[in-house]
Amino acid sequence: MRTLKLTVAYDGTRFVGWQRQAEGDSIQGLLEEALARFEGAAVSVQGAGRTDAGVHALAQVASVRVTCAHDVATLTRALNARLPEDVRVLSVEEAAPTFHARFSAKKKTYRYQVRNAPIAMPFERSYVWHLSEPLDVDAMRQAAAMVVGTHDFAAFQSVGTQVPCSIRTVLRSAIVQPEPGLIAYEVTGDGFLRHMVRALAGTLVEIGRGWRTAESMRDLVAGGTRHDAGATAPPHGLFLVAVDYD
């Protein structure tokens, strides 16, 4: 039995998300179907993060246990031949038997993109949240800095989420502007609650719009409720950028 580590990129536009669903195509389901052809039996692929419908990944990480003897380079080519073009296996690596894509992860990085311009190019409509009114980027930047640290992020998790603890540690939280008119929120942490990054992005946008103050973020990360924070940003502006391990 071998444990393999897969690094996968995908355009999440048409998928129901990472996780298998009763209906619709999922990234997990497509990978399991492709791998089963080489394994000759059903396999279970585990992902580092369960991205939602419409969310993209530049480097999602998955793990799987298999018995097939194909070398990793052959598997990489063969999987990409089986998968649709909006899902690409960037690499397949041999991993330690104890490796698990989700539980072995030490930190994850996400990016949320906002096109802040009167007009957005049609080619990027699936990859940015288009907001035409001017945003106060300095206020957004000040608020984003307050997210860094170990906090109770209950204000930024989906209502009804069942987790034993909503405390997480954020290592980096920053507003950057890669090009004129593009605002990106980049955040790295040891773990994220369901819809946490999108809720943070939505709150930062409300600060940029002047609907709430930058200082209000300090109260939210001190233990606010979901009702206190901003709306959840649309999924299509979100990217899982990287997953880091020891």
Residue in the block written with tokens 């773990």: 191
The whole-number average pLDDT for the span 169-185 is 97
Per residue in 180-207, pLDDT (tens digit) is: 999 999 999 999 999 999 999 999 999 9
The string of pLDDT tens digits covering residues 146-168 is: 999 999 999 999 877 778 899 99
Collapsing DSSP to helix, strand or coil, 217 comes out as helix
Q: Break the chain into its structural domains and give their ranges.
A: 2-95, 107-244
Would you call 174 exposed, middle or buried from its count of C-beta atoms within 10 A (0-12, 13-18, 19+)?
A: middle
**Domains 2-95 and 107-244 fall in the same CATH topology:** yes
Fold of 2-95: Alpha-Beta Plaits (3.30.70)
Q: If we measure between CA atoms, which residue out of 163, 161, 153, 243 comes closest to residue 203?
A: 153
CB-based burial, 140-171: b 16+ in 10 Å, e otherwise = bbbbbebbbeebbbbbbbeeeeeeeebebebe
* pTM, to two decimals: 0.95
Just give the CATH number of 107-244: 3.30.70.660
pLDDT of residue 223: 83
The residues annotated with a catalytic role in the active site are 52
Contact 102, 232 (CB under 8 A): no
